[in-house]
């Protein structure tokens, strides 16, 4: 288990995420691990350097989309990261997925809120280029509902939230 006084090694966390998602691909055919790296980089571009937040960004889809366990995350990155990743894990499928996402978002801690904002934004950027317009609009609208459910967002991502809202507004009629 991670020593609570030991620093999170982000290079090990990133490597773990890359290996965990090995062989997985996004709908656009790109390697899935590129998404989690992009989410972490979007948070860095907001000035976030907190290792718990960045580790959560790398690991946010591990429980949902891989065979890695809670213990793997706990041993690698500690209890704060595990808690946030568990908040972000949504195993629902189909019509209930978005409903479950909103229910989870109402309970997110600030780490999960930061990561979900960057995750949704990154997904939406990809969607614009890869999905049919009707599906993009539906996803954008769901993104607005998600933003409302996550209120209040931490102060260090308020500019990013404004950017996300402007981006979404461009996609809706």
Residues involved in catalysis: 64-65
What is the C-alpha to C-alpha distance for residues 24 and 19, in angstroms, rounded to an integer?
A: 10
Whole-number Cα distances in Å, 158 to 45, 152, 162: 13, 9, 6
Helix (H) or strand (E) holding 18: helix 10-20
The residues with which 25 forms a beta bridge, in sequence order, are 31
Helix (H) or strand (E) holding 50: none
Q: Is the peptide bond before 152 cis (omega within 30 degrees of 0)?
A: yes
Radius of gyration for the alpha carbons in the chain, expressed in angstroms and rounded: 15
Alpha helices in 30-78 (DSSP H): 33-45, 51-59, 62-65, 70-77
Tracing tokens 């990809």 back to the chain, one arrives at: 126
Q: Is 141 helix (H, G, I), strand (E, B) or coil?
A: helix
């Amino acid at each position: 288990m991670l020593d609570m006084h030991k620093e999170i090694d982000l290079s090990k966390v990133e490597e773990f995420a890359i290996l965990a998602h090995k062989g997985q691909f996004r709908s656009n055919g790109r390697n899935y691990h590129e998404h989690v790296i992009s989410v972490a980089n979007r948070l860095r571009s907001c000035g976030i350097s907190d290792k718990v937040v960045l580790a959560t960004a790398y690991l946010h889809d591990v429980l949902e989309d891989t065979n890695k366990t809670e213990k793997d995350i706990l041993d690698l990155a500690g209890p704060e990261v595990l808690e946030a990743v568990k908040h972000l894990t949504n195993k629902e499928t189909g019509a209930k997925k978005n409903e479950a996402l909103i229910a989870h978002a109402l309970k997110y801690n600030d780490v999960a809120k930061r990561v979900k904002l960057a995750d949704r934004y990154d997904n939406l950027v990809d969607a614009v280029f890869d999905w049919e317009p009707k599906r993009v609009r539906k996803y954008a609208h769901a993104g607005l509902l998600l933003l409302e459910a996550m209120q209040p967002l931490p102060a260090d991502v308020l500019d990013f939230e404004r950017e996300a809202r402007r981006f979404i507004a461009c996609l809706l009629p």
